[in-house]
Amino acid sequence: MTDDGFVMRVHRVRAEFVVAACDADLLDRDLPVGENGQTVKVSSHFYGERRVSREELLWALQRATIANLLGARVLQVAAEGGFVEPGGTGTLGGVPHAEIFALVG
């Protein structure tokens, strides 16, 4: 398997298939949030430690009911797969970030 530079963890919460993925170099970083010095830790507990390929990330995103994506490389793959639109992302502590929710009706 090639190392595309990201990690992923799948969380199963009741009927939800939650994909959390981030650029591997973001793990254990503290990202600034707000204006009063608060930070949020990019945790391997949430995002995982297992490196995955682009193909595995896309496979998981196709099945996700919720996705939490952090980092330029992860979001590039999500955009190429049609999961996020250009300009449809925000930032978390200056790092590209997106949350995706599948609405099934």
Average pLDDT, whole number, for the chain?
92
- Give the Cα separation of 97 and 69 in Å (integer): 6
Give the per-residue pLDDT at 87.
Answer: 81
The pLDDT of residue 94 is 94
Mean per-residue pLDDT, 56-66: 95
State mean pLDDT over 15-44. 93
State what percent of residues in the chain have pLDDT above 90. Answer: 80
In the DSSP assignment, the letter for residue 71 is S
The domain ranges of the chain are 6-101
Question: For residue 35, what pLDDT is reported?
Answer: 83
Distance, C-alpha 8 to centroid of its chain: 7
Q: pTM of the entire structure?
A: 0.91
CATH value of 6-101 in 3.30.1860.10, 3.40.1390.30, 3.40.710.10, 3.40.190.10? 3.30.1860.10
Specify whether the CB–CB gap between 68 and 19 falls below 8 A: yes
Q: Which two tokens stand for residue 93?
A: 């502590």
Between 69 and 36, the more confident residue is 69
Supply the angle between the helices 72-80 and 54-63 in degrees, to the nearest 10.
60
**How far apart (Å, rounded) are the C-alpha atoms in residues 26 and 72?**
10
Average pLDDT for 68-92: 93
Asked if the model's pLDDT at residue 10 lies above 80, the reply is yes
Give CA–CA dist 79/88, Å, rounded.
9
Task: Answer yes or no: are the C-beta atoms of 11 and 59 closer than 8 Å.
Answer: no
